[in-house]
Amino acid sequence: MIGETVTRVDGVEKVTGTAPYTGNLELPGMLYAKLVRSTLPHARLLTLDASRAEALRMEALIVETSHRAGPYGSKGVGETAVAPVAPAIGNAVADALGIRLRELPLTPDKGLRALRERQTILRTSGR
């Protein structure tokens, strides 16, 4: 086969959009599932109320993983690598304002909220 043209048997169907894909299959008695992922990176689930899911006429399975970090520290598909400037920005904010945030990702809104909370604490403590 090296050096020869190979004709794909499903090429025409894929190009014309008529090829069957698993996402388009519907079979009798087929089960459906939905994967729900956290919208907060590095968050930890402290409590879980599964009563709404259990009240439905279906079986709800909650699967937790140990989230082992990959070779670059990412914990899942689609979690991008962190740019090295982010810690530098966090340190600059901490040095300038005296506020160190532990909630990731560091955003301007979180920094402003922390600054407002710090000012409230300083005012109420008489400093």
**Identity of the residue numbered 100:** R
Residues 6+ apart with CB under 8 A from 110: 101, 103
Task: Please calculate the CA angle 28-33-39 and round it to the nearest 5 degrees.
Answer: 160
Q: Is the pLDDT of residue 122 over 50?
A: no
Cβ(106)–Cβ(93) below 8 Å? yes
Residue 33 is encoded by which pair of tokens? 């599932």
Of 13-27, 31-45, 56-70, least confident by mean pLDDT is 56-70
Question: Pick the residue with more confidence: 37 or 126?
Answer: 37
* Band of pLDDT at residue 127, cut at 50, 70 and 90: very low
- Cα 9 from chain centroid? 38
Nearest to 85 by CA among 103, 106, 68: 106
State the average pLDDT over residues 34-61.
70
